[in-house]
């Protein structure tokens, strides 16, 4: 089945063949994969999907892969958890957590996009993959490159703490630490991507890479029994994820796979210290004003997001809204999710939990409607966010009498 028409400019609509290009040569707009939905409609059914593997590749027909899956065979199909305890705390009827903190192999949703990009890189005959990243993306690119027997170059700002790079270095990539300001490193990486024939996953492979995010949305719908929730709260960094989850829902709707009408409202969640997309939503403007990130939510710290406009448009089109979370609220969100559901998320998950709470309390999200909160990364990667907040409750000498005494005091405190 020929499923791809090629690439299409999201701004001027000009068409391109499916090659490793990412920018329209005419208007410099971003390119997006264009599918032949008429052909897909004949082959993609609920039955064909459920007969697939328990991974994101059960949706392979709707991803831009034309050959076999090359890496990341076990990525995705993460748990969608009915969060009854959290729902009680929030005073809501139906709350779900889509939990990519346990996404294989590198514990974040980036495995979805990277496995598509690296598979596509092999399909195009590339022998080297690359990215510029300070966290989850670097982990995932290095891991998938190792699995695919590809060379990998990971670019980082030279001042990045050693602790942040260990989870990348372990996969044996070539790590290039660049001295310079954030802007200088950023521009250099763009120039390197332009000069070398490498698969720079989030630059020249971005049209393919970003499609991997749709699998997160497909899974929500399938795991809810082929229905869509009332609300989805999505963390926004570059702005691509929220737009791709929405695209996934619209594709399923177009293919006739969803029960009932789609009434889902997509809500954007960002940190107050780096929230240009939510600011657009709140001010109801399509003008994105770049910011300098200043937040503990490092995994969302993109001050000039490439897909900011499309993220804003997604909230508008779906009738959703957005909410900022302060650093304090982010930590509270992480702790709330951990103590109610036993899920340790990174700061980005704290942002979505906090934003959901605020949207519910302000009445934007009615308490009797179904809510999916997106958790996209694992807290064990960034425990430093909680260092100042957690300590052992009870410290005792090694004797039973000391424990008896401490326990009695604890019970008295909580009585």
Partner 1 sequence: MTRMRLRLTFPPHLIQEPIVYRLVKDFDIVINIRRADVKADYGWMALELDGEEAQLERGVKWLKEKGVQVDPIERDVISP
Residues engaged in binding partner 1 (CB under 8 A): 11, 22-23, 26-29, 131-137, 155, 157, 182-183, 185-187, 189-191, 193-194, 202-203, 206, 237-238, 287, 289-290, 298-306
CA dist 196 and 312 (Å) reads 33
Smallest distance from the beta carbon of 183 to partner 1, in angstroms? 7
CA dist 325 and 236 (Å) reads 12
Smallest distance from the beta carbon of 159 to partner 1, in angstroms? 12
Cβ nearer to partner 1, comparing 13 with 290: 290
Cβ nearer to partner 1, comparing 180 with 256: 180
Q: Answer positive or negative: Cα dihedral of 311, 280, 348, 325.
A: negative
Smallest distance from the beta carbon of 351 to partner 1, in angstroms? 12
Smallest distance from the beta carbon of 205 to partner 1, in angstroms? 12
Residues 160 and 177: beta-carbon distance below 8 Å: yes
CA dist 215 and 238 (Å) reads 17
Q: Which of 38-60 are b and which e, b meaning 16 or more Cβ less than 10 Å from the residue's Cβ?
A: eebeeebeeeebeeeeebbbbbb
Cβ nearer to partner 1, comparing 268 with 360: 268
Cβ nearer to partner 1, comparing 238 with 275: 238
CA dist 408 and 108 (Å) reads 42
Smallest distance from the beta carbon of 357 to partner 1, in angstroms? 23
Smallest distance from the beta carbon of 302 to partner 1, in angstroms? 5
Coil, strand or helix at 264: coil
Q: Which of 199-220 are b and which e, b meaning 16 or more Cβ less than 10 Å from the residue's Cβ?
A: bbbbbbbbbbbbbbbbbbbbbb
Smallest distance from the beta carbon of 369 to partner 1, in angstroms? 31
Smallest distance from the beta carbon of 264 to partner 1, in angstroms? 26
CA dist 187 and 189 (Å) reads 5
Is residue 411 within a helix (H) or strand (E), and if so which, with residue range? helix 400-414
Cβ nearer to partner 1, comparing 235 with 320: 235
Q: Nearest-5° angle of CA 305, CA 275, CA 322?
A: 105
Burial class (CB in 10 A: 0-12, 13-18, 19+), 399: exposed
Cβ nearer to partner 1, comparing 340 with 382: 382
Query: In sequence order, which residues have a C-beta less than 8 Å from that of residue 7 and are 6 or more positions away?
Result: 15, 16, 17, 18, 19, 21, 31, 32, 33, 34, 207
Give me the residues paired with residue 271 across strands. Answer: 274, 325
CA dist 208 and 39 (Å) reads 20
The first and second tokens of residue 108, run together, are 């974040």
Cβ nearer to partner 1, comparing 160 with 257: 160
Cβ nearer to partner 1, comparing 134 with 345: 134
Query: In sequence order, which residues have a C-beta less than 8 Å from that of residue 330 and are 6 or more positions away?
Result: 271, 295, 296, 297, 347, 350, 351, 354, 385
Cβ nearer to partner 1, comparing 229 with 276: 276
Smallest distance from the beta carbon of 55 to partner 1, in angstroms? 23
Coil, strand or helix at 155: strand
Cβ nearer to partner 1, comparing 177 with 390: 177
Smallest distance from the beta carbon of 301 to partner 1, in angstroms? 6
């Amino acid at each position: 089945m020929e499923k791809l028409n090629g690439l299409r400019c999201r701004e001027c609509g000009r068409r391109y063949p499916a090659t490793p290009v990412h920018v329209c040569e005419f208007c410099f707009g971003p390119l997006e994969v264009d599918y032949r939905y008429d052909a897909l409609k004949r082959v993609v059914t609920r039955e064909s999907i459920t007969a697939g593997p328990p991974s994101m590749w059960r949706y392979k027909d709707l991803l831009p892969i034309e050959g076999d899956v090359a890496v990341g065979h076990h990525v995705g199909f993460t748990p969608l958890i009915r969060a009854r305890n959290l729902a009680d705390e929030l005073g809501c009827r139906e709350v779900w957590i889509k939990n990519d903190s346990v996404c294989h192999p590198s514990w974040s949703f980036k495995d979805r996009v990277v496995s598509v990009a690296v598979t596509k890189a092999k399909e195009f005959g590339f022998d080297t993959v690359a990215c510029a990243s300070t966290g989850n993306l670097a982990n995932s690119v290095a891991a998938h490159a190792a699995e695919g027997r590809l060379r990998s170059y990971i670019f980082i700002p030279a001042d990045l703490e050693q602790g942040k790079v260990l989870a990348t270095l372990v996969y044996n990539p070539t790590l290039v630490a660049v001295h310079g300001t954030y802007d200088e490193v950023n521009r250099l990486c763009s120039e390197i991507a332009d000069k070398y024939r490498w698969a720079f996953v989030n630059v020249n492979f971005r049209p393919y890479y970003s499609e991997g995010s749709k699998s997160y949305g497909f899974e929500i719908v399938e795991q809810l029994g082929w229905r869509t929730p009332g609300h989805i709260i999505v963390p926004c960094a570059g702005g691509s994820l929220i737009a791709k989850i929405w695209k996934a829902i619209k594709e399923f709707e177009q293919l006739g796979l969803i029960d009932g009408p789609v009434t889902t409202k997509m809500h954007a969640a960002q940190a107050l210290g780096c929230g240009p997309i939510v600011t657009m939503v709140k001010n109801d403007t399509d003008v994105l004003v770049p910011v300098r990130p200043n937040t503990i939510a490092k995994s969302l710290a993109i001050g000039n997001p490439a897909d900011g406009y499309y993220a804003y448009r997604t909230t508008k089109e779906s009738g959703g809204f957005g909410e900022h979370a302060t650093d304090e609220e982010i930590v509270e969100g992480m702790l709330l999710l951990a103590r109610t559901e036993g899920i340790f998320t990174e700061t980005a998950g704290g942002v979505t939990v906090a934003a959901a709470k605020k949207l519910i309390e302000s009445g934007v999200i009615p308490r009797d409607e179904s809510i999916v909160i997106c958790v996209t990364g694992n807290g064990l990667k960034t425990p430093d966010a909680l260092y100042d907040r957690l300590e052992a409750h009870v410290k005792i000498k090694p004797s039973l009498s000391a424990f008896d005494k401490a326990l009695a005091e604890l019970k008295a405190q909580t009585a």
